[in-house]
């Protein structure tokens, strides 16, 4: 967790331009939004406040002579556990302020994750491998093919999960829209209303009338219907290509969106309809859904308002995946996003991010089983979100039965984020989660969009490599048989075969009963 | 002359499609009868003058964006949910959660309304002719809420902006809310509302409630 004094700031004086020639360079002073560095009357730079450093490394990034090193201060982790440096600082923070810790980003620390799973390549006992360089691999995912007049055709099994305008900057929203257009995949407005350019940028056009296409092949935009209903109107609901009903999210299941006053600028306040500087705390549940029957009615009227053209989506946090997914599917949606505990957030109480919810790998198998029990697997599309970092994680999620994956945090990192975990402060030095004009100016939507598109392209190639070496030429053919768990714990919670043992754990073999 | 659409035995898609055709093709006035089984009727309409004869189902006029909707009987739950423009008038009572999440427009209930009325109101005018239930006006962010009768517990909990006017008594107030003196401007505004919707009450007898702070959550 980001605590006071968690980082050591070292400036190599032999190299530093300012140390050699005071007044000649003050790049670190200019770029640091946390005032770690200061400059005195003689133009000499000094580190004035070590404790303010959040570890974002923007100074090291911009230093023209590479004179700065930022290192984590916590080297005594093992010897001091459980009274680690961070834990001690957290208690001091509470003792001094009477408030609990709030922070952005996502879950940290050891957690059952995709790393304890391996992909099984094909040799003699299975279909021979396919040639990645000379053969094709089918990747398209269609949402709402039988139920909607305008289904979504994703070129790759990838979406950008919801990030609200407010939590992230306008520039970051546009970068994601551009990336979605370049890739032919879907972005998401999040719960903070829509940025004016977002719908047509997502489709690949640079004008509102959608006459001039700039980015091929053009993607999609999912609009989010959430508990705070910020900026939601009939026009908003119709502006997207699908509507997502947000029930919860991985970083803080059971809590609503959390936008701190520091980020509520005039622009954000106008979109959300709240006073400038006032916290926007979304309700944790829908005030207009009292029962499951009400949720069904909501899905029905959202279909009606969008003229039965667009898919309806549900986003769930990690709680009771089997029952939750079963109910979501029974509510009549076309796609379900299931977020694991490693999902990101703009701001949340630290202990909720760390301790509430279950890991992504434990969410997918029960969710898939629920859809299979209803006969809806592969019909209602399942997207796995939360801590998916690369093609390897993605292929594992797909083989466990998901139809697609979401890259949220990873997409932000592709834009430039260094994971300093201080999104809630509104001081993002890379301009991604800040609303300050001077910081936002550091993020160019087109450039950042290209970086995100590059990242997803590379990831998709990784997915292709792993799918084809397992002997498949369609991602839908990936199955649990293509994976093995490398430890007992992972085999126990996912139902995958354990390496060496080559069988599933007994309770998975004998008809699993939830 | 208003045309009649009988919704008996029809589903939402059929009635909604026919209703939209009638509004665009031959004029804006339409009467719908036997529609109490339909939830989310008149959703997202931009124009039209629709009369629901008898009672309505839940989510009537959801996302309303300019239509004038009148219910001659009682309204179900969440009437005028998330409205941005237009008006919804209910001659009878409204169930739970009337006028929630509205950005604009007017909701008038001549009778009583249930719990959580005008929750997260972001700019609409919500007028209730008689009493309301508990938790009314929770997390209201803008707009006016006029309650001619009495209110239940936790009225106006975490009011951020906008005003609540109560003609009768309340059982208890929520957080971040205080009573203020009624000004002449308030009296004029209330007079206007009461006259427009033919509700008999003395505007000077109302109590005015206002937020304590626009930033009550984190100091």
**Residue A163, pLDDT above cutoff 70:** yes
Cβ of A301 within 8 Å of Cβ of B141? The answer is no
Cβ of A297 within 8 Å of Cβ of B59? The answer is yes
State the pLDDT confidence band at A86, using cuts at 50, 70 and 90: confident
Cα-Cα-Cα-Cα dihedral sign, residues A441, A447, A450, A452: negative
Measured between alpha carbons, how far is A352 from B144 in angstroms, rounded to an integer? 36
The yes/no answer to whether this complex scores an ipTM above 0.90 is: yes
Fold of the A7-99 domain? Alpha-Beta Plaits (3.30.70)
- Going from N- to C-terminal start, the domains of chain A cover 7-99, 129-477
Domain containing residue B136: 39-211
Mean pLDDT to the nearest integer, A240-267? 91
Distance from CA of B116 to the nearest CA of A (A): 8
Cβ of A288 within 8 Å of Cβ of B78? The answer is yes
Show the tokens assigned to A240.
Answer: 């997207």
State the pLDDT confidence band at B98, using cuts at 50, 70 and 90: very high
Distance from CA of A297 to the nearest CA of B (A): 6
Q: Check if the beta carbon of residue A45 is closer than 8 Å to that of residue A38.
A: yes
Cβ of B142 within 8 Å of Cβ of A305? The answer is no
pLDDT at B141: 92
Distance from CA of B64 to the nearest CA of A (A): 7
Higher pLDDT, B116 or A6: B116
Measured between alpha carbons, how far is A177 from A159 in angstroms, rounded to an integer? 11
Measured between alpha carbons, how far is B216 from A279 in angstroms, rounded to an integer? 8
**Residue B27, pLDDT above cutoff 80:** no
Cβ-based burial of A149 (10 A; exposed 0-12, middle 13-18, buried ≥19): exposed
Cβ of B217 within 8 Å of Cβ of A279? The answer is yes
Average pLDDT over chain A, rounded to whole? 92
Distance from CA of A296 to the nearest CA of B (A): 10
Mean pLDDT to the nearest integer, A335-339? 97
**Residue A162, pLDDT above cutoff 80:** yes
Measured between alpha carbons, how far is A251 from A341 in angstroms, rounded to an integer? 6
To the question of pTM greater than 0.90 for the whole model, the response is: yes
Higher pLDDT, B179 or A4: B179
Tell me, what CATH number does B65's domain have? Answer: 2.160.20.60
Is A238 part of the contact surface with chain B (CB cutoff 8 Å)?
Answer: yes
Classify A405 as helix, strand or coil. strand
Number of domains within chain B:
1
**Residue B145, pLDDT above cutoff 90:** yes
Q: Which of residues 242-281 of A touch B (CB under 8 A)?
A: 260-261, 273-275, 277-279, 281
DSSP string, A56-104: --HHHHH-TT--EEEEES---HHHHTTS-HHHHHHHHHHHHHS---EEE
pLDDT at A514: 45
C-beta contacts of A397-400 below 8 A and 24+ residues apart:
A397/A114, A397/A360, A397/A364, A398/A157, A398/A463, A398/A467, A398/A475, A398/A478, A399/A119, A399/A470, A399/A478, A399/A479, A399/A480, A399/A482, A399/A483, A400/A361, A400/A364, A400/A365, A400/A368, A400/A480, A400/A483, A400/A494, A400/A496
Establish whether domains A7-99 and A129-477 are of one fold: no
Q: Which residue of B has its CA nearest to A304?
A: B13
Q: Which of residues 103-122 of B touch A (CB under 8 A)?
A: 103, 116, 119-120, 122
CA angle A307-A338-A506, nearest 5°?
135
Q: Which of B74, B56, B66 is nearest to B110 (CA)?
A: B74
Higher pLDDT, A213 or A8: A213
Condensed to tens digits (0 to 9), the pLDDT of residues A439-495 reads 999 999 999 999 999 999 999 999 999 999 999 999 999 999 999 999 999 999 999
For an interface test with B, give the residue of A297, A307, A312 to mutate (most B CBs within 10 A): A297
% of chain A with per-residue pLDDT over 70: 97
Condensed to tens digits (0 to 9), the pLDDT of residues A349-408 reads 999 999 999 999 999 999 999 999 999 999 999 999 999 999 999 999 999 999 999 999
Lowest-pLDDT range, A77-81, A111-115, A269-273, B15-19? A77-81
With beta carbons under 8 A apart, name residues in chain B contacting A232: 63, 82, 101, 103
Fold of the A129-477 domain? TIM Barrel (3.20.20)
Side-chain-side CA neighbours of A338 within 13 Å: the count stands at 37
With beta carbons under 8 A apart, name residues in chain B contacting A308: 13
Q: Which residue of B has its CA nearest to A276?
A: B214
With beta carbons under 8 A apart, name residues in chain A contacting B97: 287-288
């Amino acid at each position: 967790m980001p605590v006071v004094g968690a980082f050591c700031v070292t400036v190599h004086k032999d190299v530093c331009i300012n140390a050699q020639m005071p007044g000649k360079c003050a790049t670190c002073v200019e770029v640091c939004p946390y005032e770690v560095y200061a400059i005195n009357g003689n133009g000499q730079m000094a580190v004035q406040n070590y404790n303010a450093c959040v570890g974002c490394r923007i100074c090291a990034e911009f230093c023209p002579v590479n004179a700065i090193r930022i290192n984590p201060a916590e080297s005594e982790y093992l010897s001091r556990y459980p009274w680690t440096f961070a834990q001690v600082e957290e208690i001091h923070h509470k003792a001094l302020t009477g408030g609990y810790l709030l922070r952005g980003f996502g879950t940290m620390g050891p957690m059952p994750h995709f790393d304890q799973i391996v992909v099984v390549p094909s040799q003699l006992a299975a279909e021979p491998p396919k040639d990645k360089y000379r053969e094709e691999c089918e990747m398209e995912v269609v949402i709402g093919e039988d139920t909607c007049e305008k289904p979504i055709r994703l070129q790759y099994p990838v979406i950008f999960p919801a990030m609200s305008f407010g939590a992230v900057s306008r520039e970051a929203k546009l970068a994601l829209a551009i990336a979605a257009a370049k890739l032919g995949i879907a972005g998401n407005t999040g719960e903070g209303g829509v940025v004016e350019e977002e719908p047509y940028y997502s489709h690949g056009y640079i004008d509102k009338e959608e006459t001039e296409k700039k980015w091929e092949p053009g993607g999609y935009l999912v609009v989010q219907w959430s508990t705070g209903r910020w900026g939601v109107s009939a026009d908003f609901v119709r502006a997207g290509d699908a509507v997502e009903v947000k029930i919860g999210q991985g970083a803080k299941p059971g809590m609503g969106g959390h936008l701190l006053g520091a980020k509520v600028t005039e622009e954000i306040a106008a979109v959300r309809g709240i006073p400038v500087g006032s916290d926007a705390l979304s309700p944790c549940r829908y005030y207009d859904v009292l029962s499951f029957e009400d949720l069904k009615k909501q899905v029905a009227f959202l279909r009606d308002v969008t003229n039965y053209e667009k898919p309806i989506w549900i986003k769930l946090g990690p709680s009771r995946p089997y029952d939750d997914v079963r109910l979501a599917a029974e509510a009549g949606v076309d796609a379900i996003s299931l977020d694991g505990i490693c999902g990101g957030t703009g701001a949340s109480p630290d202990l909720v991010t760390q301790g509430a919810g279950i890991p992504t790998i434990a969410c997918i198998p029960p969710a898939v089983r629920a859809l299979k029990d209803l006969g809806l697997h592969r019909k209602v599309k399942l997207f796995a979100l939360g801590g998916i970092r690369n093609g390897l994680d993605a292929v594992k999620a797909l083989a466990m039965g998901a139809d697609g994956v979401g890259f949220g945090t990873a997409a932000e990192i592709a834009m430039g984020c260094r994971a300093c975990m201080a999104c809630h402060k509104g001081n993002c030095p890379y301009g991604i989660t800040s609303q300050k004009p001077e910081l936002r100016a550091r993020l160019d939507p087109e450039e950042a969009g290209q970086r995100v598109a590059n990242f997803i392209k590379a990831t998709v190639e990784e997915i292709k490599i792993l799918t084809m070496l397992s002997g498949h030429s369609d991602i839908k053919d990936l199955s649990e048989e293509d994976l093995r768990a490398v430890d007992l714990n992972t085999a126990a919670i996912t139902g995958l075969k354990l390496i060496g043992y080559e069988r599933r754990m007994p309770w998975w073999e004998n008809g699993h009963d939830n | 002359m208003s045309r009649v659409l009988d919704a008996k035995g029809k589903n939402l898609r059929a009635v909604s499609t026919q209703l939209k055709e009638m509004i665009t093709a031959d004029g804006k006035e339409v009467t719908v009868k036997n529609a109490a089984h339909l939830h989310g009727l008149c959703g997202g309409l931009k124009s039209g003058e629709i009369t629901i004869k008898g009672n309505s189902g839940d989510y009537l006029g959801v996302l309303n964006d300019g239509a004038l909707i009148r219910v001659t009987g009682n309204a179900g739950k969440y009437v005028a949910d998330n409205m941005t423009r237009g008006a919804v008038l209910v001659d009878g009572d409204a169930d739970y959660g009337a006028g929630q999440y509205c950005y604009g427009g007017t909701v008038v209930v001549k009778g009583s309304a249930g719990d959580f009325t005008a929750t997260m109101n972001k700019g609409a005018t919500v007028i209730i002719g008689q009493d309301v239930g508990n938790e009314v006006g929770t997390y209201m962010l803008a707009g006016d809420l006029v309650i001619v009768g009495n209110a239940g517990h936790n009225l106006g909990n975490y009011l951020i902006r906008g005003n609540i006017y109560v003609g009768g008594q309340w059982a208890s107030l929520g957080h971040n809310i205080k009573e203020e003196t009624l000004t002449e401007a308030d009296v004029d505004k209330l007079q206007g509302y009461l006259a427009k919707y033919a509700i008999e009450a003395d505007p000077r007898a109302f109590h005015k409630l206002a937020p304590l702070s626009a930033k009550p959550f984190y100091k």
